[in-house]
Protein backbone atom coordinates (compact mmCIF):
# COMPACT_ATOMS: atom_id res chain seq x y z
CA UNK A 1 0.00 0.00 0.00
CA UNK A 2 1.37 3.39 -0.98
CA UNK A 3 0.07 5.51 1.91
CA UNK A 4 1.83 8.68 0.71
CA UNK A 5 0.14 8.47 -2.69
CA UNK A 6 -3.25 7.86 -1.11
CA UNK A 7 -2.75 10.69 1.40
CA UNK A 8 -1.82 13.19 -1.32
CA UNK A 9 -4.80 12.36 -3.56
CA UNK A 10 -6.78 15.53 -2.80
CA UNK A 11 -3.83 17.87 -2.26
CA UNK A 12 -2.57 17.00 -5.75
CA UNK A 13 -6.02 17.55 -7.30
CA UNK A 14 -6.40 20.82 -5.37
CA UNK A 15 -3.27 22.29 -6.98
CA UNK A 16 -5.09 22.78 -10.30
CA UNK A 17 -8.70 23.06 -9.11
CA UNK A 18 -11.00 26.01 -9.84
CA UNK A 19 -11.38 27.88 -6.54
CA UNK A 20 -14.20 30.02 -5.21
CA UNK A 21 -12.93 33.45 -4.09
CA UNK A 22 -12.21 33.29 -0.33
CA UNK A 23 -14.85 35.89 0.67
CA UNK A 24 -17.54 34.01 -1.24
CA UNK A 25 -16.35 30.66 0.09
CA UNK A 26 -16.55 31.93 3.67
CA UNK A 27 -20.21 32.87 3.13
CA UNK A 28 -21.03 29.51 1.52
CA UNK A 29 -19.36 27.62 4.39
CA UNK A 30 -21.00 29.72 7.12
CA UNK A 31 -24.42 29.19 5.53
CA UNK A 32 -23.76 25.44 5.49
CA UNK A 33 -22.72 25.49 9.17
CA UNK A 34 -25.67 27.62 10.29
CA UNK A 35 -28.21 25.42 8.47
CA UNK A 36 -27.17 22.43 10.58
CA UNK A 37 -26.66 21.73 14.28
CA UNK A 38 -24.95 18.34 14.62
CA UNK A 39 -21.31 17.38 14.22
CA UNK A 40 -18.92 14.56 15.00
CA UNK A 41 -16.11 15.89 17.20
CA UNK A 42 -12.81 14.00 17.14
CA UNK A 43 -10.22 14.36 19.89
CA UNK A 44 -7.08 12.30 20.41
CA UNK A 45 -4.16 11.91 22.77
CA UNK A 46 -1.51 9.37 21.85
CA UNK A 47 -3.24 6.06 21.14
CA UNK A 48 -6.54 7.23 22.65
CA UNK A 49 -9.06 8.54 20.11
CA UNK A 50 -12.66 9.59 20.65
CA UNK A 51 -15.23 10.72 18.09
CA UNK A 52 -18.45 12.02 19.61
CA UNK A 53 -21.69 13.16 17.95
CA UNK A 54 -22.71 16.52 19.46
CA UNK A 55 -24.95 19.46 18.78
CA UNK A 56 -23.36 22.86 18.27
CA UNK A 57 -24.09 26.55 17.82
CA UNK A 58 -21.94 28.72 15.58
CA UNK A 59 -21.21 32.17 16.96
CA UNK A 60 -18.56 34.76 16.11
CA UNK A 61 -16.72 32.30 13.84
CA UNK A 62 -16.46 29.65 16.56
CA UNK A 63 -18.20 26.36 17.27
CA UNK A 64 -19.90 26.41 20.66
CA UNK A 65 -20.50 22.97 22.14
CA UNK A 66 -21.83 22.13 25.59
CA UNK A 67 -21.28 18.77 27.22
CA UNK A 68 -22.14 17.09 30.50
CA UNK A 69 -18.87 15.12 30.32
CA UNK A 70 -17.46 12.00 28.71
CA UNK A 71 -14.24 10.42 27.49
CA UNK A 72 -13.58 13.20 24.96
CA UNK A 73 -12.30 15.27 27.89
CA UNK A 74 -9.57 12.68 28.50
CA UNK A 75 -8.10 13.62 25.12
CA UNK A 76 -8.93 17.35 25.32
CA UNK A 77 -7.04 17.64 28.60
CA UNK A 78 -3.78 16.79 26.80
CA UNK A 79 -4.42 17.88 23.22
CA UNK A 80 -6.39 20.97 22.22
CA UNK A 81 -6.12 20.16 18.48
CA UNK A 82 -9.48 18.81 17.32
CA UNK A 83 -11.40 18.00 14.19
CA UNK A 84 -15.10 18.00 13.55
CA UNK A 85 -17.24 16.90 10.64
CA UNK A 86 -20.65 18.11 9.52
CA UNK A 87 -22.33 16.31 6.66
CA UNK A 88 -25.55 15.58 4.87
CA UNK A 89 -26.82 12.11 4.13
CA UNK A 90 -25.23 10.72 0.98
CA UNK A 91 -27.95 9.88 -1.54
CA UNK A 92 -25.81 8.84 -4.49
CA UNK A 93 -23.52 10.48 -7.05
CA UNK A 94 -23.76 14.26 -7.07
CA UNK A 95 -25.22 14.51 -3.56
CA UNK A 96 -22.06 14.73 -1.43
CA UNK A 97 -22.04 17.73 0.89
CA UNK A 98 -19.84 17.99 3.97
CA UNK A 99 -17.44 20.10 5.97
CA UNK A 100 -14.30 18.99 7.79
CA UNK A 101 -12.99 21.43 10.36
CA UNK A 102 -9.57 21.44 11.97
CA UNK A 103 -9.28 23.71 14.98
CA UNK A 104 -8.17 24.48 18.48
CA UNK A 105 -10.44 23.75 21.45
CA UNK A 106 -10.73 25.82 24.59
CA UNK A 107 -12.49 23.97 27.39
CA UNK A 108 -14.19 25.90 30.19
CA UNK A 109 -16.09 24.47 33.13
CA UNK A 110 -18.83 26.38 34.95
CA UNK A 111 -16.29 27.01 37.75
CA UNK A 112 -13.74 28.69 35.43
CA UNK A 113 -13.42 32.46 35.94
CA UNK A 114 -13.92 33.29 32.22
CA UNK A 115 -16.90 30.93 31.72
CA UNK A 116 -19.50 33.68 32.20
CA UNK A 117 -17.53 36.22 30.15
CA UNK A 118 -17.15 33.82 27.22
CA UNK A 119 -20.81 32.87 27.22
CA UNK A 120 -22.02 36.45 27.47
CA UNK A 121 -19.71 37.52 24.61
CA UNK A 122 -21.42 34.83 22.50
CA UNK A 123 -24.92 36.00 23.51
CA UNK A 124 -25.59 32.92 25.65
CA UNK A 125 -27.37 33.06 29.02
CA UNK A 126 -24.42 32.31 31.30
CA UNK A 127 -26.36 31.98 34.56
CA UNK A 128 -28.68 29.37 33.05
CA UNK A 129 -25.75 27.34 31.65
CA UNK A 130 -23.82 27.60 34.93
CA UNK A 131 -26.82 26.14 36.80
CA UNK A 132 -26.79 23.17 34.42
CA UNK A 133 -23.05 22.71 35.16
CA UNK A 134 -22.33 22.14 31.48
CA UNK A 135 -18.78 22.30 30.17
CA UNK A 136 -18.16 24.63 27.24
CA UNK A 137 -16.01 23.43 24.37
CA UNK A 138 -15.20 26.40 22.19
CA UNK A 139 -13.56 25.47 18.90
CA UNK A 140 -11.73 28.06 16.83
CA UNK A 141 -11.35 26.76 13.26
CA UNK A 142 -7.97 26.91 11.55
CA UNK A 143 -8.92 25.05 8.36
CA UNK A 144 -12.31 24.44 6.77
CA UNK A 145 -12.53 21.83 4.00
CA UNK A 146 -15.86 22.02 2.19
CA UNK A 147 -17.17 19.41 -0.23
CA UNK A 148 -20.22 20.12 -2.37
CA UNK A 149 -20.83 18.18 -5.56
CA UNK A 150 -23.13 20.90 -6.90
CA UNK A 151 -20.22 23.38 -7.12
CA UNK A 152 -19.31 21.73 -10.44
CA UNK A 153 -22.44 23.31 -11.93
CA UNK A 154 -20.92 26.74 -11.12
CA UNK A 155 -17.58 25.85 -12.69
CA UNK A 156 -15.76 25.19 -9.42
CA UNK A 157 -14.04 22.13 -8.07
CA UNK A 158 -16.36 20.33 -5.60
CA UNK A 159 -13.71 20.44 -2.86
CA UNK A 160 -12.77 23.85 -1.47
CA UNK A 161 -10.46 24.78 1.39
CA UNK A 162 -10.43 27.90 3.54
CA UNK A 163 -7.55 28.56 5.93
CA UNK A 164 -8.29 30.93 8.81
CA UNK A 165 -5.44 33.11 9.99
Domain with 48, as residue range(s), is: 3-163
Kindly tell me if the per-residue pLDDT of 138 is higher than 90.
Answer: yes
pLDDT at site 65: 95
**Residues forming a β-bridge with 84:** 41, 101
Query: Distance between CA atoms of 63 and 138, rounded to whole angstroms?
Result: 6
Containing H/E element for 6?
Answer: helix 3-7
Q: CA of 164: how far to CAs of 22, 79, 101, 116, 131, in Å?
A: 10, 20, 11, 26, 34
Model pTM greater than 0.75?
yes
Kindly tell me if the per-residue pLDDT of 13 is higher than 90.
Answer: no
The model's pLDDT over 48-98, given as tens digits with 9 standing for 90+, comes to 999 999 999 999 899 999 999 999 999 999 999 999 999 999 998 888 999
- What total of structural domains would you count in the chain? 1
Query: Distance between CA atoms of 25 and 18, rounded to whole angstroms?
Result: 12
Query: Distance between CA atoms of 42 and 116, rounded to whole angstroms?
Result: 26
Kindly tell me if the per-residue pLDDT of 111 is higher than 90.
Answer: no
Domain of 112, CATH number, reads 2.30.110.10
Amino acid sequence: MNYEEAASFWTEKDKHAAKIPADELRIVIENFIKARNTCALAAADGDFIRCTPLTYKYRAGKFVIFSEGGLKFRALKQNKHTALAIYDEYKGPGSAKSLQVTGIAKVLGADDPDYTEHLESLGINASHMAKLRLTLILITPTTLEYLDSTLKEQGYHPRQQLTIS
